[in-house]
Amino acid sequence: MKKQNKIKDKENKQYDKIFKENIEPVFLALCENYLQIEIEKTEEIKDKLQTTLEREPDFLKIIHSKRREKFILHIEFQSKDESDMIYRMQEYYAILRKKYQMPIEQIVVYLDKNPS
């Protein structure tokens, strides 16, 4: 079974490579014609997007409700306003959504007396 998975992974990577090599002209035309994006130039981003990320939420519960489907309630408590908080919340959201595959409600509670 593992050998079959490795063969399939190799085939998938080959198809992925072929697709990536041939899609750019078509994709750029679609962007211009259907999405109305006037492209002046493009820049290649060569990145594998590999990361090791560990997050520990302040409050995380699965909520069962009579009026709606179950969902994850995620609350973060902050002592001050941080400019990157929105990105941290997006990281939490992506990790939770992928792992649990259910709706997520997020709240940030700022504990600072002084509004920013």
Backbone φ and ψ for 72, nearest 5 degrees, come out as -95, 130
Q: Give pLDDT, residue 32.
A: 85
Q: Is the dihedral of CA 93, 56, 85, 71 positive or negative?
A: positive
**Residue 59, pLDDT score:** 94
State residue 2's pLDDT score: 67
Residue 108 three-state SS: strand
Which of 47, 48, 53 is closest to 96 using CA atoms? 53
- Reported pTM: 0.63
pLDDT 10s digits, 66-101? 888 999 999 999 988 889 999 999 999 999 999 999
pLDDT at 113: 74
Cβ contacts of 82 within 8 Å, gap of 6 or more: 88
Predicted local distance difference test score (pLDDT) of residue 5: 66
Annotate 55-74 with DSSP letters as a single string.
Answer: ---SEEEEE--SSS--EEEE
Alpha-carbon distance 30 to 110, whole Å? 43
Please state, as a whole number, how many other Cβ atoms lie within 10 Å of the Cβ of residue 72: 20
**6-57 tens-digit pLDDT:** 666 777 777 777 777 777 778 888 888 888 888 888 777 777 777 788 889 9
